[in-house]
Amino acid sequence: MEKLITMIKDNSIDRFKSHMKYNDVSIEIPNDKNLNKVRSFRTVIILVSGDDLKLIFKVHFTSEIANYFYQNAMQKTPAAVEKSIDFMKEYTNVVAGRIKKFFTDQNVNVGISLPILTRGFDEIFFELPKINDAIVENWIIKAEKYHLCCTGIIELLNPNVVSRLKYSVPEQTDNGDEGEVNFL
């Protein structure tokens, strides 16, 4: 299970670097283990799910943080709130797309939902998994003065699937145009 959380964290950082146009980022695991806590004013949620597992990836942020990362990546002046929020939705979408590719490459059939924006305060209404084969973890991606809090929730519906997954930490390479963001 830990290798799945590591895979989600690695993908969230890798996509953060390319989507937000940052190379100097760090990750922090919060000491607070209260997993049903309101983490910020807004949350974008996306689901990666199939017969064997259900994975939820969440990004918690404020409008100010979204606008800051939008401006940096797009090299534009402050945007309307809707544009910067759409930018954060697209970030969760590219992370989920990379996660789906990981599973598909290993013959685990999954699909992804559309990213959904909720108020961060709605977090208290989300019920955490109550099954043994589930893991929930929060991490913070830090870049300059702003950061994003992320949450990964994995429920294994078929625990045997983990034993056949192969994941190793990817080498850092320059993939040329792979990090380009086309955002309308």
Q: Compute mean pLDDT per 10 residues along the chain, 184 residues long, and list them.
A: 83 83 76 58 89 92 83 75 86 93 92 87 58 76 83 87 74 45 42
Residue 161 vs residues 48, 68, 104, 107, 146: alpha-carbon distances, Å = 15, 39, 12, 10, 37
Q: What is the pLDDT of residue 177?
A: 41
Residue 92 vs residues 11, 30, 161: alpha-carbon distances, Å = 10, 20, 24
Q: What is the pLDDT of residue 184?
A: 40
| Helix 2-20 vs helix 81-105: crossing angle, to nearest 10 | 140
Q: What is the DSSP letter of 6?
A: H
Q: What is the pLDDT of residue 131?
A: 57
Q: What is the pLDDT of residue 121?
A: 52
Structural domains of the chain ordered from first start: 2-159 (3.40.1550.10)
